[in-house]
Each structure stands twice: as structure tokens, then as C-alpha cells.
Structure 1
Amino acid sequence: MSWIFLILAGLFEVVGVIGMNLIIRDKNIKSFIVFILGIGLSFICLSIAMQTLPMGTAYAIWTGIGTVGSGIVGILLYGESRAIKRIVFMAMVLVAAVGLKIIS
């Protein structure tokens, strides 16, 4: 169950980053709500996951999901670079996170 909360924490982190981007583009109440809910739910889920998962592993996977997820959202929704080097490095982040899971 902790892994499910950790994955949710990473996904909510992406929602929070989307909220940040919305705030930069248009400072309205909806943007702030998306940001606050995304980050808040992310930290709640992360804290639940860390009750049984090692801190280093949980934090690394949480940030990895947030990093790669935000990169993918940037590519798909905001027209950011699709350069192969960028995609390779995002894949390396995922491989490192999976490696931490395997050795934990």
C-alpha cells in the first residue's frame, strides 16, 4: 500500500507543478487551488508512504516521478523540447528509481 501512496505522491507533485505553471501564466484563484491541492496532497501521500518505506528510497522515487512527469507534461501540453537527449536523461531518472526499488 505504501508504494501506491508513493506513486500518488509523485503524481500529485506533477499536479502541483502544473499549478505553478498556471500561476505564472494566469494568476487566478483556480491556479492557486491547483497548486496548493497538488503540493498538499503530494506531501500527505509522501508522509504516509514514508511510514514503512526507507526515507532515501521514497524521496528519490517521489522526486523522480515528479521530474519525469513534469517533463512529459511540459512536452505534451506546453510545447517544450522533445530532444532525444532530454528524453534519454528522463529515462535515466526512471531507471535509477527502479534500481532503488530493486535493491530496497
Structure 2
Amino acid sequence: MSWLYLAIAVVFEVAVGIFASKANGFRHLGWTAATLVSGAIGTLFLSFALLTFDVGVGYAIWTSVSGVGIVVVGALFLGQRMDWRKALGIAAVVGGVVGLQLTGAA
């Protein structure tokens, strides 16, 4: 169940990144509210996941996978460029997450 909680937390954290960019420096109230609510829900589900995960491992996986998710969503739907350097960075992050999981912490 902790993996499901972590996955939900990642989805909401990706939403935070997208909504925050739309909030335009918190000048648009609706997007600002969506950013704050998504952040709160993501943090709530992260806290549920951390009941099982070591805090360092769970938090690292959450932030890393969320960061990759935001880059991928930006490239696929927001017209942002994906080049070999970003792809290399994503591969490094994925390798780090796999390495953390191999510690058997969750």
C-alpha cells in the first residue's frame, strides 16, 4: 500500500509543478489555490507512504520521480525541449532511485 501512497504523492507533486507555472508568480488565484491544494494532498500521501519507507529513501524517491515526471510532462504537453542532457539526467535519477530501492528499505 505504501507504493500506492507514494505514487499518488508523485502525481500530486507533478501537478504542483504544472500548476505553479500556470500561477505566474502566484498572480492567478485559481492556479495558486490549485498549487497549494495539490501540494497539501501530495504531502499527505507522502506522509502515509513514510509510515513504511525510511524517511530519507521515501522522500528521495518522491522528489526524484516527481522531478522526472515534471520534465516529461513539460516535454510532452507544454512544448518544452527534451535534449540528450535532460535524458541523461533522467537516466541518472532513475538509476539513483533503483539504487535506493535495492537497499531494501521499503
TM more than 0.5: yes
Shift of the 53–26 alpha-carbon distance from structure 1 to 2, 3 Å rule, reads: closer
Aligned partners of 1:26, 1:42: CA distance in 2, in Å? 19
Q: Structure 1: where are the runs of 5+ without partners?
A: none
What is the match of residue 40 of structure 2? 40
Residues 80 and 29 (structure 1), Cα distance of their counterparts in 2 relative to 1, 3 Å cut: same
Aligned match of 1:51? 51
What is the match of residue 20 of structure 1?
A: 20
The 3-state SS of whatever aligns with 2:52 is coil
Distance in structure 1 (CA, Å) of the matches to 2:103 and 2:26: 43
What's the secondary structure of 1:103's corresponding residue?
coil
Partner of 1:95: 95
> Structure 1 pair 51/26, CA: closer, same or farther in 2 (3 Å)?
closer
Q: Which residue of 2 aligns with 1:64?
A: 64
Going from structure 1 to structure 2, the CA distance change for 1:103 and 1:59 (only over 3 Å counts) comes to same
Q: CA RMSD in A?
A: 1.6
Contact 1:7/1:65 (<8 A) preserved: no
Determine the C-alpha separation between the residues in 1 that align with 2:42 and 2:90: 21
Which range moved further: 54-63 or 27-36?
A: 27-36
Greater helix share, structure number = 1
- Partners of 2:100 and 2:53 lie apart in 1 by 12
> Structure 1: which 4+ aligned runs deviate by more than 4 Å?
none
Q: Which runs of 5+ in 2 are unaligned?
A: none
- Match status 1:75 vs 2:75: yes
Determine what percentage of the aligned residue pairs are the same residue. Answer: 29
